[in-house]
Amino acid sequence: MRILVIGGKRFAGYYMVREALARGHEVTLFNRGITHPELWPELPCITGDRLTDLHKLDGLSFDAVIDPCCYFPPQMRASAEYFRGRDVFYAFVSTLSVCDLSRSPVRETDPLPLYDDSGSFTENMGNYGPLKAGCERTLHEILGDRAAMIRPGFICGDRDYTDRFTYWPVKMRFSDRILVPEGDFPFQFIDVRDLAAFTLTVVEKRLSGPFSVTGPGAEYRFSDFLQDCRQTVNPRCELVRLPDEKLNELGLLQPDKSVYFPLFYGDTPGFAGLYRVDVSRAVSAGLTFRPARDTILSAVDWFLSRTDDPDGLAAGLKATLEEQILSRL
């Protein structure tokens, strides 16, 4: 297949390109040339902004488009309209944040939030879920059953610049004691490689409609994740559990636990469905999950390729502050 990837050089998009090439497809990139311009020098790359420069694609022919980086409905309208009259299948990487995460379980059939387009792009950027929902509606309106909406949960692994998942194994890698809030809850995430593999399967089979993409497939809890991290990177690490009263005393509950303890949303108001997502439709269509250990190792290796300082994590409690707290317990 001839596949156009919009973006393709940061995180999920990078792995979409890699997976497409591994499956023998021809890949062309379209992006602004800002993020990692050194990547994929062997591939044709058309530099431009989709709002003004899609005409640069004139004369080229594609079987499919993979779009992992559209955030605003006007951007989606521009690209979907461009491909309206062409026999192209369009896979949009959306987000589970389009769903009402206060409900449980979350399903593809749940109503989407409304998008208020009265403001500017910048003013609405904080409205991530509704904006992505607006992109989905726009895409479906224009391309109908020639489009798929891939809705990943937390994407993890190599090249994850958010460090939310990475925080936990890296902390254990560098310390024999770490702080953890008390509590346990179901936990779901998706390895970026599994997301890419499923997206390519959807494209190859032209499977239309929305797909919730997160995992693992079996019942998995946050305590399981923490134990998997321990066993993978440092079995000696002690998990020092703190109740809410102590966390509050230390100032670690504001605005919620996830600020200092990434992904710890188990009892956060409004997130009852965050880790209770029905993924049966995607699994039936070919979604698979690699062992958590593989994702943990990939995330740690990515972090260590950048720095060996745990304070270099982009998320969570800084190591120096954590050490101060632990010394007083």
Q: How far apart are CA 191 and CA 183, in angstroms?
A: 24
228 touches 317 (CB < 8 A): no
Q: Does residue 100 fall inside a structural domain?
A: yes
Q: Does residue 280 fall inside a structural domain?
A: no
Q: Verify that 194 and 263 share a domain, yes or no.
A: no
Q: Does residue 258 fall inside a structural domain?
A: yes
CATH number for the domain harbouring residue 78: 3.40.50.720
Q: How far apart are CA 67 and CA 65, in angstroms?
A: 6
Report the SS3 class of residue 326.
helix
- Look at residue 253 in the predicted model and tell me its pLDDT: 87
73 touches 117 (CB < 8 A): yes
Q: Verify that 172 and 121 share a domain, yes or no.
A: no
Contacts of 4 (CB under 8 A, 6+ apart): 27, 28, 29, 30, 57, 60, 62, 64, 65, 66
Instruction: Please give the average pLDDT of every successive group of 10 residues along the chain, which has 329 residues.
Output: 98 98 99 95 98 98 98 96 97 97 94 71 70 96 99 97 97 97 96 99 99 90 98 98 94 88 90 96 98 98 95 94 92
Q: Does residue 329 fall inside a structural domain?
A: no
Q: Does residue 176 fall inside a structural domain?
A: yes
- Look at residue 216 in the predicted model and tell me its pLDDT: 85
Q: Verify that 112 and 245 share a domain, yes or no.
A: no
Q: Verify that 73 and 206 share a domain, yes or no.
A: yes
Q: Which two tokens stand for residue 1?
A: 């297949």
Q: Does residue 275 fall inside a structural domain?
A: no
Q: What is the DSSP string of 5-50?
A: EES-SSSHHHHHHHHHHHTT-EEEEEE-S-S-TTS-TTS-EEE--T
Residue in 223, 234, 105 with CA at minimum distance from that of residue 170: 234
Q: Verify that 141 and 171 share a domain, yes or no.
A: no
Q: Which of 179, 213, 247 is the last residue of a domain?
A: 213
Domain count, the chain: 2
- Look at residue 271 in the predicted model and tell me its pLDDT: 92
CA 68, 74, 75, 81 dihedral sign is positive
Q: Verify that 128 and 258 share a domain, yes or no.
A: no
**Which domain, by its residues, includes 315?**
167-187+220-269+291-323
Q: Verify that 122 and 47 share a domain, yes or no.
A: yes
Q: Which of 213, 248, 282 is the last residue of a domain?
A: 213
Q: Verify that 138 and 180 share a domain, yes or no.
A: no
Contacts of 112 (CB under 8 A, 6+ apart): 98, 99, 133, 136, 137
Q: Which two tokens stand for residue 103?
A: 């409900």
Q: Verify that 78 and 128 share a domain, yes or no.
A: yes
Q: Please report, in angstroms and rounded to a whole number, the separation of the first and last CA atoms in the chain.
A: 59
Q: Verify that 125 and 227 share a domain, yes or no.
A: no
Q: Does residue 285 fall inside a structural domain?
A: no
Q: Does residue 283 fall inside a structural domain?
A: no
Q: Verify that 204 and 259 share a domain, yes or no.
A: no
- Look at residue 119 in the predicted model and tell me its pLDDT: 58
Q: How far apart are CA 198 and CA 56, in angstroms?
A: 29
Give the gyration radius of the chain's Cα atoms.
21
Q: Which two tokens stand for residue 138?
A: 């726009």
Q: Verify that 171 and 255 share a domain, yes or no.
A: yes
